[in-house]
Chain A
Amino acid sequence: MGKRKLGALEKLDADLSSLQYKCRRDPASYRDDFATQYQQYEALRDLLLQNPSTTDSQGLVSLKDLIDFVAHVADSYPTICAAFPDDLRELLSQHEELEPELRDKIVSAFVLLRNKDIIDSATLLNTFFPILVSTPSKSLRNLLFSKILSDLRSSNAKSRNHRLNKTVIAVLHTLLTRDRESPKGLWAVKITREMWKRQLWTESEAVALMEEAALSENEKVIIGGVRFFLGGDKEREEAADDSSDDDENVDMNKLRHQAGINKKTKKKARELKHAAATVKRKEKKKAAPHPLNFSALHLLRNPQGFAESLFSKHVQNSKSKLSLDSKLLVLQLVSRLVGLHKLTVISLYSYFLKYLTPRQASVTSFLACLAQSVHNLVPPDVLEPLVQKIANEFVSEASASEVCAAGINSIREICARQPLAMGDTLLQDLVEYRKSKDKGVQMAARGLLSLYREVGAELLKKRDRGKDAALGLRSGELRERRYGEEEVGEIDGIELLEKWKSDERRKKREEAGLDPDAPTDEEEEEAEDWKNWDVEDDDDSDDSGGWINVESDGEDISISDSEDESQPSSKKPKLDVSASKDKENQFMPSKSEDPEPKPISKLATTRILTPADLAKLQELRLASQIHTSLPSTKRAKLLAARHADDPLTAAEIEAPGLLGRKSTKEEKIAMAKADRETNHQSTTAKRKEKKAAEGKSSTNKEKARKKNFLMTLGKAKGKQKRSLVDVRKTLKGHLERQKRGGRRGNQ
């Protein structure tokens, strides 16, 4: 039914939109009219409440329009409209029966009231949230969800509204915990994920919420929570990247130049101003410090407990009704947690044993999970049967090459994390596969070999060890690391910095004519350091650029400098070998029998490294990398070094298996074509084709143009023989063509 045409009699002498305009312009004068309209609204509302399912679209003025009108001017008449928000709430509470258009209008009117600050966020959320959770209508749910999100975003836009966030999190928490079986908790997950993505919620409360979701009873909620941990941070990073490079570059110089030349209008001036503001904002953004956001996995309060309960509740529990895919997701999270936080969940490894057969569905994911959950504190005797089983099930001449490659590769991934899980006979067997015909198997076996040349060369046969490993073994430099032994932590390249610093100092003192080796007093050196605190930049930024105020999440870390003051002599960055050796012996007696222990630089522990120092450190590190030729294995390791937080996926396990595979012709063609556009056509040709497709015929002109040349000869006359009318036509035609721009026009 279209809009009814109004007869002359039906026309209103005044409509709501003009009244709205007038009310906004001069609220006091139109108070009576507004009061009348409000009464009309009340009358219609009473009518609706008598029978909420009626539609009043027939009448001239519908309740919908009135609600819209009242919401728009409500801020001008606070006394009259005092009960209006409550009315809307009451109407909305009958959302099942209302007609959809009216319902949506009420929702948007409510949001409008919020935007005009007539009601506060808490009221809005308290109204919308129960409906969001309970309504059966999908469109209403979508609408409410978007409104709730936008309200949360806008109230967090200028500064974080901690109080509101806390209440919302509390509400979501009760939603999750009240009924663990219902899928309603999904809304909590959705909202949290969205807020996490936009970096509005970055606290551990939100993470605790998702922890609760992952431990609920409903499969959808569980998967939502688990996916948050697995993908939420990546999503957040991507969103941040997107927002940073969305607006195009503005060339201010060009704009200014144009403004000098072109006609000066208000619009142009405004545009220039706008562009300047954009550039300024961008600069500011660039200079702003990178926000310190911890990933959700790091914000967990009790990773060990979480991993254990996840595993025992959803994975190990034979009564859990999760599908295999969901179970795998949970398993991924558990193994990720175990690997990342170096947790001890012993039953996890024996659980894997059942699933390590090539016939198991999505076995590569299981393999990836297993490898991911291994770390250097897992007892080797727990892992040995797993490795053995993988070798038995996957790696044999009879099995398919992809299977074999995936098996070896997963063994390599496990052993990279815990080298002690491998025995020498098995390793020597597996290494033999590098002579396989299949390229994938070959590569996987080579990977394993090169790994063990580095971490456990004595397990290999002598001829397999390679030059570097053999030399290292003989000199005692390469030793097998024992179970539980940790590498001594140090800052890469700190000794270079230390050396550079002492050289600098020596140089300076020589210039000043002092004894280069004499100890300096601390104060002087300190002052010098603070003086060139920052890296020498071109622009002198006087503000505290680069420093971020991290809001404490409860406890503060207090750093006392008293130690430094008490023993100034030990603070010497000089290579006081004996002193440093003493120190070292105190701390790690196990290492004292080493032939020549590397002195540990105490620069970083005794002094605050300034940004200038860090920049120099990076420079020195790069320089040393270029000069010293690293062993090939180490270089490869550097290349392959991944961030510890990155997950291991099934695709990575499968990767070598795909190496040897021959691609089909179609794939090759697709690869060669890449994303190039196929069959290029000129614009004219495209237009012609489109015209033909629409079923339009060609014009007379086109026909004439295409006509066979020989057929036109008969009609071609000499110029002299033309009639006057023809001449006139030609001349006129010429003029017209000039106007149009050529014979074919700009068609």
Chain B
Amino acid sequence: MGSSAKKKKEKKKDFQKAKLKVGKAKPKAANFTDTNFKAKSIVLTQQSLSTNAPTTTAQCAHHLSLLTHRSDTQRRDSLAYLTTAFTTSLPGSPLPQPASVILPSVQRLILDGSNAVRQQLLKLLQALPQDDIASHGDHLLLHVRAGMTHLATEIRVFALDVLEWLIGAAGDEIVSCAGGWVKTLKCFLSLLGWQNETAGKWSTTKSFSKSGGDAKVQAKQMSTLAVFLKAGLMPNQSAGAVVAVGDHFPLWQTEHYVLPDRSNAYSHLNLFGAPRDEEAEMYEDREDRQRVFHDRAEGAIVAALEQATKSGGELGRAAALLRKAVRDGMADFHQEDI
């Protein structure tokens, strides 16, 4: 209301005109805002002005970087783009980006929360040429194991799909890489709930995070385990072929002198890595794997298979398959014992 003289004066002050004086700078208005600023550098963002479209390589690189995008549709779309780019590339020509670039950025998505993204990822992986997978097998297997023990059931099931694909692509490398055999076996045992250490007097309760002990899921787990065991315990066909071929008279044991056909042939020596324990050890020989399997897992698996085969149905079929795999794989091991 402006009752007091003081307030009146204050009000008046707002409307007073500033006097201009000769030789003095013009007084600044009350609402003057200083728009000066200092910056170390100024970047002018601009759209690309080039007339020709970016190459597939550049676009692939861009989409690879988008794989960490927070929107899952964006991630899925990027994966889809990459998949089509790889499948449409000419059979003889190299990929737009080398596998050593693609795989490290792609493999994290095995643990992705969105189902759509994961399915797309599997498609992408299947689109990759198998030869490139072998050298990245151990890293992929790490992610697969993380997926297999994941808290979410869907991711656990998905990890099995990836593992199956991985064994198909590079079975030998997977079972013989560091920690690849024992740790993965342990994962399977805990997934199926077949650990021998919990065999107490009491019947065990249903596991906390399993969605109702799905028979379907369990059957899938068993079949994947069968595939894994086959890869690890069966004699290697390609190796046998080499032996058969190199059996000529003057050239005995040629295979020892030719260049190794695997990458990093001396990795089992572990020259530069940290010391490993039994779990993280590499088991390159079939006999080694058989021995460790016998020590650590065979008893538990055979005992649990007894139960599983009795239940019949889908589960029983899967169990029978697994039992066959175990028997075939361990046949010559037990013969040696006798």
Asked if A60 is an interface residue, CB under 8 A from chain B, the answer is yes
**Interface-lining segment among B39-47, B185-193, B261-269, B296-304:** B185-193
Complex alpha-carbon distance, A33 and B193, angstroms: 9
Enumerate chain A residues within 8 angstroms of B164, measured Cβ to Cβ: none
Contact B113–A59 (Cβ < 8 Å):
yes
Closest to A44 in B: B146
Select A36's contact among B111, B113, B115, B149, beta carbons within 8 Å. B149
**Stretch of B48-56, B88-96, B205-213, B239-247 on the interface side:** B205-213
Contacts of A22 in B (CB 8 A): 208
Interface residues contributed by chain A, number (CB under 8 Å): 37
> Are A9 and B115 touching (Cβ within 8 A)?
yes
Residues of chain A within 8 A of B154, CB atoms compared = 9
Contact B108 A14 (CB under 8 A): no
Interface pair A39/B187, CB less than 8 Å apart: yes
Report if A16 contacts B (CB, 8 A). yes
- Interface residues as binary, A25-52 with B (CB distance below 8 Å gives 1, 0 otherwise): 0000111110111011011101100100
Residue of chain B at shortest CB distance from A41: B149
A463 within 8 A of B: no
CB–CB B152/A13 < 8 A:
yes
> How does the 8 Å CB contact mask read for B101-133 relative to A, with 1 for contact and 0 for none?
000000010011111000000000000000000
Asked whether any CB of chain B lies closer than 8 Å to the CB of A359, the reply is: no
In the assembled complex, the CB of A54 is this many whole angstroms from the nearest CB of chain B, namely 8
The CA-CA distance from A168 to B120 in the complex, in Å, is: 57
Q: Which of B137-145, B287-295, B319-327, B328-336 contacts A (4 or more CB under 8 A)?
A: B137-145
- B109 nearest CB across to chain A (Å): 9
Chain A minimum-CB-distance residue to B204: A32
Please determine whether A9 and B108 come into contact, CB atoms closer than 8 angstroms: no
Judging by beta carbons under 8 Å apart, are B151 and A61 in contact?
yes
A32 touches B114 (CB 8 A): no
- The residues of B that contact A35 with a CB separation of less than 8 Å are 190, 195
Q: How far is the CA of A42 from the CA of B1 in the complex (A)?
A: 73
A19 at interface by CB-CB < 8 Å: yes
CB < 8 Å neighbour of B114 from A1, A9, A706: A9
> Contact: A15 with B190, CB < 8 Å?
no
Q: A56 to B72: give the CA distance in the assembly, Å.
A: 16
CB contacts (< 8 Å) of B145 on chain A: these are: 39, 43
Contacts of A30 in B (CB 8 A): 208
Contacting pair B114 A10 (CB below 8 A)? yes
A265 to chain B, nearest CB (A): 39
Smallest CB gap from B67: residue in A: A58
Report yes or no: A16 in contact with B151, Cβ–Cβ below 8 A: yes
Q: Give A residues with C-beta under 8 Å from B.
A: 1, 4, 6-7, 9-10, 12-16, 19, 22, 29-33, 35-37, 39-40, 42-44, 46-47, 50, 56, 58-61, 703, 706-707
- 28 inter-chain pairs at a CB distance below 8 angstroms, sorted by A residue, are A7-B114, A9-B154, A10-B152, A13-B153, A14-B151, A14-B209, A16-B151, A22-B208, A30-B208, A32-B207, A33-B209, A37-B149, A39-B145, A39-B149, A40-B146, A40-B151, A42-B183, A43-B145, A43-B148, A58-B68, A59-B112, A59-B113, A60-B111, A60-B113, A60-B151, A61-B151, A703-B1, A706-B3
Write the residues of chain B forming the contact surface with A, with a CB cutoff of 8 angstroms: 1, 3, 68, 70, 72, 108, 111-115, 139, 142-143, 145-146, 148-155, 179, 183, 186-187, 190-191, 193, 195, 198, 204-205, 207-209, 211
Known: A12-B151, A36-B209, A39-B145. 20 other contacts (CB 8 A): A1-B70, A12-B152, A13-B153, A15-B151, A19-B151, A19-B208, A31-B198, A32-B207, A33-B209, A37-B149, A39-B187, A39-B190, A40-B151, A43-B145, A43-B146, A43-B148, A44-B146, A47-B143, A50-B139, A703-B1
